[in-house]
Structures are given as structure tokens and as C-alpha cells.
A and B are shown apart, each in its own frame.
Chain A
Amino acid sequence: MISITSDPIDISSALTLLQSDQAGAVDFFLGLVRDNTQQRPVDHLEYEAYDRMAISEMQKIVDQAHERWTILECVVVHRKGLLRVGEIAVLIGVSTPHRADAFDACRYIIDTIKQTVPIWKKEVFTDGESWVNAHP
């Protein structure tokens, strides 16, 4: 299940989607909004997505993970809109028969999302703002 949502991300409903009698492992990666990026206090983050393409790019990544590892179920949820420090921005969940595949697939999915999926975040500091990665 792949989605983009404006609502808070619910870990327990993701866990339900990952359950399988064949699963010996479930891994989650949670990406959180962090304070004090670049030594500056963060007021909030604003996430924006090109929804249609973001979903299809995330689907490609999940398909690639299925080709490389034995995955039973996979959940990817990315938040958009205004997020405060401590909130979950992205959840990756993978269930597999054995734990090594769960760790590897989870890491691959989040690392690749950060490279190719058209989602952008603006850090709004108490003293200014900037789009992450946009400038040299």
C-alpha cells in the first residue's frame, strides 16, 4: 500500500497491513521532523508533493524491492502539508520471512525515495526558511 496523506501517520494500521502468517520479521523506518537542522531552531516543515508522480515513483521503488528481496507486504506512507518537530514525515514498513531481507529492503526503499520521488520540504526556521537541497 502506497499513499500520500495530509493526516498524521498511524503506525498500528500500517502494522495491520503488514501482517502475514508467513512473516518472520517486520521492519519499520520512520522519518521524523527534527529540530535544530543546520544549528537553527526549526518552527515547522512544509512538505509538498507532485502526488500523481510521487505515487508512481514510489510504486517503482517498491516493485524493485520486490525483485531483489523476498517481501510479503510493503507499506509506504508519506505525509504532506505542515509538520511540527517530532511528527512522522514518512513511514516504510516491510514484512518478510527472514529479518535480513526486511532490514535491507526497508533501507533501500527510504534511500531511493530520497533520491527520486517528487516530494519537497521547506524548513521554516524561527528566523527564515529554505527549500532543502535546492541550492548548491
Chain B
Amino acid sequence: MNFPISVLLFGITRDLTGQSSLSLPLAEGAQVSDLLQVLTDQFPDLGRIRSLMVAVNGEYAEPNQVLSVTDEVALIPPVSGG
């Protein structure tokens, strides 16, 4: 059973996808690494970025973290503040 997950996009990931957020269908029990796979399959240009982290509910997430429908998920390309 798939569930939709919405992903916030910033910086270069927003430019490459042309969207500031998108909704993806994920399988029950899907992990952060599965989300990255679906995203890079759909948008191969994302693979050109130096690194791509995922934040879940405002915290950096490990690849094996399991996602749920209520999570606030964001893609974090290399930061460049300051």
C-alpha cells in the first residue's frame, strides 16, 4: 500500500526540479534511502549535486530512517550560509 509523502525543495534542488515541493508515492515502511532513489530516478539531474541530505521534521536523517505520512521531509543540498 503506497502513501504520499511531500518533500520540500530548496536551493539547487528547487531549480533542478522546477518545484518548491512535490508529492511522491512511497511504499509502506519506506526509508530515507528509498525516497532518495525515487527522487533521483525521477530527476536524474539531482545526481549531479555534490551531496544530498534529507531532513525529517527539521532534523538531519539517517538513510535507514523510516518515513511516515505525517513527516515533514526536506531535501538538503550542500549548505552555503554565512
Residue positions of A touching B, CB distance < 8 A: 31, 47-50, 52-54, 56, 78, 89-90, 110, 113-122, 131-136
Q: Which of A48, A50, A90, A121 contacts B55 (CB 8 A)?
A: A50
- On whether A134 and B12 interact (CB within 8 A), knowing A52-B58, A53-B74, A118-B55, the answer reads yes
The reply to whether A133 and B80 form a contact with Cβ atoms under 8 Å apart is yes
The reply to whether A53 and B80 form a contact with Cβ atoms under 8 Å apart is no
Residue positions of B touching A, CB distance < 8 A: 8, 10-12, 15, 48-50, 55, 58-60, 74, 76-82
The reply to whether B79 and A115 form a contact with Cβ atoms under 8 Å apart is yes
- On whether A50 and B8 interact (CB within 8 A), knowing A120-B80, A134-B49, the answer reads yes
- On whether A120 and B77 interact (CB within 8 A), knowing A50-B8, A131-B15, A133-B50, the answer reads yes
- On whether A121 and B81 interact (CB within 8 A), knowing A48-B11, A50-B8, the answer reads yes
Task: For A89, list chain B residues within 8 Å (CB).
Answer: 81-82
Q: Which of B8, B55, B58 has the most CB of A within 10 A?
A: B58
When chains A and B are docked, how far (Å) is the Cα of A116 from the Cα of B53?
11
When chains A and B are docked, how far (Å) is the Cα of A51 from the Cα of B29?
28
Task: For B74, list chain A residues within 8 Å (CB).
Answer: 50, 53, 118
**B32: min CB distance to chain A, Å:** 15
The reply to whether B81 and A117 form a contact with Cβ atoms under 8 Å apart is yes
